[in-house]
Amino acid sequence: MEFLYFLAKTGFYATALVTLGSAVLVVTLRNLFHCALALILCLLGVAATYLYLKAEFLAMIQILLYIGAIMTLLIFAIMLTNRLADQSVSQTNRQSLPAFALLAVFNVFCIASLTAVPWKINPASLTAPIDAKILGAHLMGTYVFPFEIISVVLIIALVGAVILGRTDQ
């Protein structure tokens, strides 16, 4: 059985590579629609990492909400504004080099500090099963106030989006 766990771990690194690869594609591709599809692949990779973290409910919510709702919105926006986005001109503005250098420094600094910290792993919570029922209980239990505020924020955001996007007849 040892080989299977080895397979599972390599599986994680493979998904991580695929996700990072498609994330790089999102940032560098010229054609915006290809970027959106690369982003979808990246989101799928993130959903797969949730599965590795034994958060199935989150993985399904991610696929349903992120890819189903947000990406659909994004693709609609890309299509509506596609006539102006000419691909001939370079897609990145002048700050690309300094930004890249800064980020490289930031990464090196973060990795150095993060790997040095001895995380206190709590083995009990590693295998604790979390399914929709427990999440639901907590959402309705201890986190009911943020839950209500979120729904209010959602309503306001959607109404605002409709007013903003509406072409005044």
Partner 1 sequence: MTEFLDQIFIIAKNGALNFLGVFLPDWMILLARILISVVTLVAIAPVVMMYMTWLERKVLGRIQNRYGPNRVGIFGLLQPIADGIKMLTKEDLVPKNADKVIHFIAPMVIVIAPLLVLAVLPFGRNLIAADLNVGLLFFLGVSTFGVIALFMGSWSSKNKYSLLGGMRAFAQMISYEIPMLLSVVPVILTTSSLSTVAIVEAQLQGKWFIFTPWGGFASLVFFLCGVAEVNRTPFDLPEAESEIVAGFHTEYSGMKFALFYMAEFISTFAISGLAVTLFLGGWDGPGILPSWFWFGLKTLILILIMIWFRGTLPRFRVDQLMGFAWKVFLPFTLGNIFIAALWVSLPFPGNFIADTIGITVILTLLQVFNRKEMPKKRKYLCAN
Partner 2 sequence: MNPIPLNHFVIFSLFLFSIGLYGALTRRNVIGILMGIELMLNAANINLIAFSRYVSQSPETGQIFAIFVIVLAACAAAIGLAIVLAMYQNRKTVRAEDIHILKW
Touching partner 1, residues 86-145 (CB under 8 A): 131-133
Residue 55: both structure tokens together: 């958060």
Chain Cα centroid distance, residue 159? 24
Question: Does residue 109 interact with partner 2 by CB under 8 A?
Answer: no
The rounded distance, in Å, linking the Cα atoms of 87 and 19 is 25
CB under 8 A: which stretch of 15-23, 71-79, 107-115, 149-157 binds partner 1? Answer: 71-79
Residue 155: both structure tokens together: 């309503």
The rounded distance, in Å, linking the Cα atoms of 58 and 65 is 10
Per-residue binding string, partner 2, 61-100, x by CB under 8 A, is xx--xx--xx--xx-xxx-xx--xx---xxxxx-xx--xx
Touching partner 2, residues 35-64 (CB under 8 A): 35-36, 39, 42-43, 46, 49-50, 52-55, 57-58, 61-62
Question: Does residue 169 interact with partner 2 by CB under 8 A?
Answer: no
Residue 18 binds which one of partner 1, partner 2, none, with CB within 5 to 8 A depending on kind? Answer: none
Q: How many other C-beta atoms lie within 10 A of the C-beta of residue 159?
A: 10
The rounded distance, in Å, linking the Cα atoms of 109 and 124 is 31
Question: Does residue 3 interact with partner 2 by CB under 8 A?
Answer: no
Sign of torsion over alpha carbons 71, 76, 78, 79:
positive
Contacts with partner 1, residue ranges (CB under 8 A) = 1, 3-4, 31, 33-34, 37, 40, 56-57, 59-61, 63-64, 67-69, 71-72, 75-76, 79, 131-133
